[in-house]
Structure formats: C-alpha cells, structure tokens
Amino acid sequence: MRIDGESDSEIIGRSLTKPEAFGEIYERHGMAIAAYVMRRVDPHRVEDVVAEVFVAAFRRRRRYDLGEPNCLPWLYGIARNVVRNERRWWRRHRIERLRLPVESVVEDIADAVIERADAEALLARISPTLASLRDEERVPLQMLAEGFTYSEIAAYLDCRVGTVKSRVSRARAKILALYRGVGR
C-alpha cells in the first residue's frame, strides 16, 4: 500500500473506466522511467521515448495483473522494449543516412524542426479548445490520436461505432472552428 492510500494497481483498475486516471501513474513513475531511458538513448529522444513507454502502458493496462500493487517493474519492462526498438531504429536509420548526400540530411533535419515547431504552435492554439471539450468528445478523439480504432474505442466506451464517429466529428468541428477563427 502506498502512503497516499491508493496502490498503482488500484489506479490502473480505476483507469479502465476513467482513462484520465492513468495520468497518476505517470506522475508517480515518470521520473524513474525518464532516468532509466536517459541512460540508454540519445538525450534529444528521451522525452519522446518516455512518452512512447507510457502510451504503450496505457494501451496494455487491461492486461496488467491487478494483484501486483506496484507497477514500476511492469513499466521498466515496457521501457526496456521501447528502448530496444529505439536503438534498432536508430541503427538502421544511421546506416541509411550514411548513404545520403549531406545536403539531403540537413534538409530533412530542417524540415523536421519546422514541422515540430508548427505542430507545437498549433497545439498551443487548440489546447484551450481540447480542454473545453466534454469527456464524451475528448476521450474518443484522444484515443483515436493514440492509434485506437473506432471499434476499439466503441468497445472501451461501451457504445456503437457510429456514436464514436459522431463524437469525434463534433470534436474535430469545434477544433477546426477555433483554428479557423485564430488564423484570421
């Protein structure tokens, strides 16, 4: 049992019906996972790799053994796999990059920086709208963005696929309306 009264397994169990509760797992163990990842990957990739670990954990939370009160060993196992995949990807990527002329590599990096800056600026503009969405619209939109299919979202929310699609459509329309209004 934890000092604050709720074990990791209780939080994960609660997150099965309230997905936002899983954020408490990140709050508890994010720093430990970041420290683990930091020693194993490029420093510029730590934030992205840690995010991948928690996204993978969120997706796998239904398979977590709720009899285990501390989920940190489980998270370390996921982190180990994500780090291994990251290293494999970079090895292949580095070898492919060695075959390219320097100019194209620099252009790719510049394009990636511009795309990320554009994405961050857009996120800053739409974050208030995302926060203002009702859970019934925000949760399916977030799950879709995380890679869940409409069928998986419908099963999770215990509703029809058409209901999920209409909720996502409403959320997208609200965000698009804001985006068009801000751009003027």
- Looking at the structure, tell me whether residues 55 and 136 fall in a common domain: no
16 and 82: one domain?
yes
Q: What is the CATH number of the domain that holds 75?
A: 1.10.1740.10
Same domain, 115 and 178: yes
CA dist 28 and 105 (Å) reads 39
> Are both 78 and 109 inside the same structural domain?
no
For residue 119, give its domain range.
101-184
Structure confidence by residue, pLDDT tens digits, 1-46: 344 589 999 999 999 999 999 999 999 999 999 999 988 888 888 9
pTM: 0.50
- Of the candidates 5, 30, 13, the residue with the CA atom closest to the CA atom of residue 68: 13
- Domain boundary among the residues 99, 117, 149 is at 99
Percent helix, percent strand, percent coil in the chain, to nearest 5 = 80, 0, 20
How far apart (Å, rounded) are the C-alpha atoms in residues 37 and 147? 23
What confidence tens digit (pLDDT) does each residue in 127-149 have? 777 778 888 888 888 888 777 88
Domain boundary among 99, 114, 149: 99
